[in-house]
Amino acid sequence: MLGKIIALIMAILALFSSLTQAVFPEKPSVMEEPVTNYSYVFVHGLSGWGSYDIQNTAVPYWGMLGGDLMKYLNKQGFRCYSASVAPIGSAWDRACELYAQLTGTRVDYGKEHSERCGHDRFGKDYSRIPLLKEFDAEHKINLLGHSFGGATVRLFTKLMADGSETERTVTDETDISPFFTGGKADWIYSVTSLAAPHNGTSSLTIDAKQTTETAETPKQYVEGMMTQVIPVATRDPFPNRDIRDYAQYDLSVDGALELNEKISAVPGVYYFSFACYCCKQNADGTYSPVEKDMESLFHRSSDLMGAFVGETEGGYYLDESWQMNDGLVNTISARYPFGEPHRDFDKNNIEAGVWNVFPDVYGDHMYLQGELLKTKDVKPFYVTHLNLINGIG
């Protein structure tokens, strides 16, 4: 289901590629007097794209048909950049690519990881086209991740802080990427997740159960899903990689909870989260999509998620609290990673090292991205949030 929806979304976007993108009207600067004014790096979700991708010119991921959000925010005085990480790769691979883009280096997926997952250790070289001119403790960044971009920026921040003991153990110190040596927690100022499935999405559990009934194993199902998504989204550079090295594994409830065991909030970094919902509760307690407000592509998945209770393949029980959703992600999963310190957002008491959880946002999974067939003006939302981060001090 999820793979088919993503493939359909990408196909629709391809039809829009010849359209002239909308231009935001000129407005006076809306950036308030900042306490800090660090750069903002936006990281897309599954099958998404960023500034390094040609499709971003026709249909910017951030803003969609409503216009380029990055250009607008930059005009207001914020320094904003959109990364381009593996559309279908794992959170690990995406984090490694993000590091290379930010530091202007060649992608190093790690000796241990690449050998275990069955793909090349090194990837694209960004030394001539870095995303940022400066990135260090004096030039910190704020990270924002939509959907699977949330897991990407969380893992990236953890690796920046602590590195990877596994990679340090098997790699000569003269050969290891600085990304895996840690000690860079103070390079990150804040992390914001946007409709991110921190604890996975039940849509993949539902898909797996449906395909199991047709005699497919979960592994066969995921592989079949990938063949549907890849031709539309991107060519897989590592077609023989381990099945656990794909985004879909990390997006499953079992995979996400496994990933969460390796990630924890970094002290000193500010964490914010926004979860979405676009459904209504029925008389029997289940949830159905609000069809007039939700992209039609999500109606079927929202209906199924809104009525599902049951166990994942790994034995994790999804109860009724998982039924509220935004069409692709369960609202409960997007609020914060289970087991992490968290608190309701309080503008007068923003803590570092703790998830500051905003009230649930009414809107579907693409609402904070700018929508797809609908058009949502997300400029005010981001201006408000970026001003908030700039005002911490």
Cβ–Cβ under 8 Å, residues 250 and 259: yes
* Positive or negative: CA dihedral 96, 101, 104, 107: positive
Res. 126: pLDDT tops 50: yes
Per-residue pLDDT tens for 90-104?
A: 999 999 999 999 999
Q: Which amino acid is at 151?
A: A
Res. 105: pLDDT tops 60: yes
User: Quick one: pLDDT at residue 8?
Assistant: 60
Strands 106-108, 122-125: parallel, antiparallel or unpaired by DSSP? antiparallel
Average pLDDT over residues 42-70: 95
Structure-block tokens of residue 180: 């895996």
Per-residue pLDDT tens for 341-366?
A: 999 999 999 999 999 999 999 999 99
In the chain, pLDDT over 90 holds for what percent of residues? 79
Q: What is the DSSP letter of 279?
A: E
Average pLDDT over residues 327-347: 97
Q: Domain limits of the chain?
A: 2-275+379-390
pLDDT level of residue 122 (50, 70, 90 thresholds): very high
Cβ–Cβ under 8 Å, residues 151 and 91: yes
Phi-psi region of 288 (alpha: psi -120 to 50; beta: other; left: phi over 0): beta
Q: Which of 75-89, 218-232, 286-300, 340-354 has the lowest mean pLDDT?
A: 218-232
Strands 342-344, 188-194: parallel, antiparallel or unpaired by DSSP? unpaired
Average pLDDT over residues 255-265: 97
Phi-psi region of 229 (alpha: psi -120 to 50; beta: other; left: phi over 0): alpha
Res. 254: pLDDT tops 50: yes
Question: In terms of Cα–Cα distance, which of 76, 74, 88 is closest to 27?
Answer: 76
User: Quick one: pLDDT at residue 111?
Assistant: 98
The fold of 2-275+379-390 is: Rossmann fold (3.40.50)
**Helix, strand counts (H, E) of the chain:** 14, 15
93 half-sphere exposure, CB direction, 13 A CA radius = 31
Cβ–Cβ under 8 Å, residues 185 and 161: yes
Question: In terms of Cα–Cα distance, which of 164, 160, 96 is closest to 126?
Answer: 96
pLDDT level of residue 220 (50, 70, 90 thresholds): very low
Res. 26: pLDDT tops 50: no
What is the rounded distance in angstroms from the CA atom of residue 305 to the CA atom of residue 321? 11
User: Quick one: pLDDT at residue 218?
Assistant: 38
**Better-predicted residue by pLDDT, 373 or 359:** 359
